[in-house]
Amino acid sequence: MFAVETSGLKKSFDKTEAVRGVDLRINKGDLFGLIGPDGAGKTTLMRLITGVMTPDSGSIRIFDTDALRHKAEAGMMLGYMPQRFSLYEELTVEENLEFFASLRSVEKDSFNRQKNYLLKFTNLEPFTKRLAGKLSGGMKQKLGLACTLIHQPQLLILDEPTTGVDPVSRREFWQILDSFLHQGMTILLSTPYMDEADRCTTIAFMNNGVLPVVDTPQHMKTLIQGTMLEVVLKEPLRAKQVLSRSDIYRHVHILGDRIHIYVDKPDSGYIADIKQILNNEAIAVDQTGFTAPMLEDVFVSIIEKERA
């Protein structure tokens, strides 16, 4: 039995196919990451799984329950935190928890136990009487998570939960998620951060409404053919434009202050050649060397193949 199983899932908006026949299986206890460019269909797929949207065709099962026929039953097994979680800013931390518990028909005794547990777990205990609108961004995210978990779901679905959150709050948020994973919860999340994707047990790359690759982060990195050469410099965009003119260096990716280039083998001749090309254009190189492929490299490679 899978935590989530979809078959032939489709959803269109006017003439745009947002989700195109997605078959997806998520094992119980998995941390499943959904990665892809903006407009790939990730949010639509998550909304279909949660029941917020109804698919045009296909099936969805949540822990072997038909989520389309038994929407309420499936909904009680999952918690969904969208990109913009709608906290009530004029209510206190505690009042928000009470409100979301009432929406889920959580009994009073169960609510009190879960509330106390979640407040302590998220370090929100000292702020129960503070208005949600007065919380920091990281604290709002933790309160949103607590509200999502108030009915003790088995499956947690998070749509880019740490976007716009400071690094310290992001680390604290992940510590909370790790603890729930150790308790056996299944988590499906989308994220724009590759370091977060690297923490997942399984990741799916989504593009143009389909999932061309679903695999472990470790195995995905082996999909890159050849050797990765890394060049650190202050003008990566101009360097990419210069190198991309060559038939040899067509696969050039920018990653911050560096560029990654696919080459056939770890030959120092490539390094000397690239330095010479860039030097001819007055582009200074700070550092060069061979490196292991990163997830960004894999995803850029997949997107280029899809476009081709």
The architecture of the domain spanning 4-214 is: 3-Layer(aba) Sandwich (3.40)
The architecture of the domain spanning 225-292 is: 2-Layer Sandwich (3.30)
Any idea which of 46-60, 180-194, 293-307 has the lowest mean pLDDT?
Answer: 293-307
Q: 254 forms bridges with which residues in the sheet?
A: 259
Taking the domains of the chain in order of start, what are their residue ranges?
Answer: 4-214, 225-292
What pTM, to 2 d.p., does this model score? 0.86
**In the block, which residue shows the tokens 């777990």?**
121
pLDDT digits (tens, 9 = 90+) for 143-157: 999 999 999 999 999
pLDDT at 308: 62
Q: How confident is the model at residue 266 (pLDDT cuts 50, 70, 90)?
A: confident
DSSP 186-224: EEEEE-S-HHHHTT-SEEEEEETTEEEEEE-HHHHGGGS
Specify the higher pLDDT residue, 80 or 264. Answer: 80
pLDDT digits (tens, 9 = 90+) for 20-54: 999 999 999 999 999 998 899 999 999 999 999 99
Q: Is 181 exposed, middle or buried (0-12, 13-18, 19+ CB in 10 A)?
A: middle
With CA atoms as reference, report the closest residue to 123 among 145, 95, 107, 106.
145
pLDDT digits (tens, 9 = 90+) for 105-129: 999 999 999 999 999 989 999 999 9
What does the alpha-carbon distance between residue 138 and residue 146 come to, in Å, rounded to a whole number?
Answer: 12
pLDDT digits (tens, 9 = 90+) for 75-109: 999 999 998 878 899 999 999 999 999 999 999 99
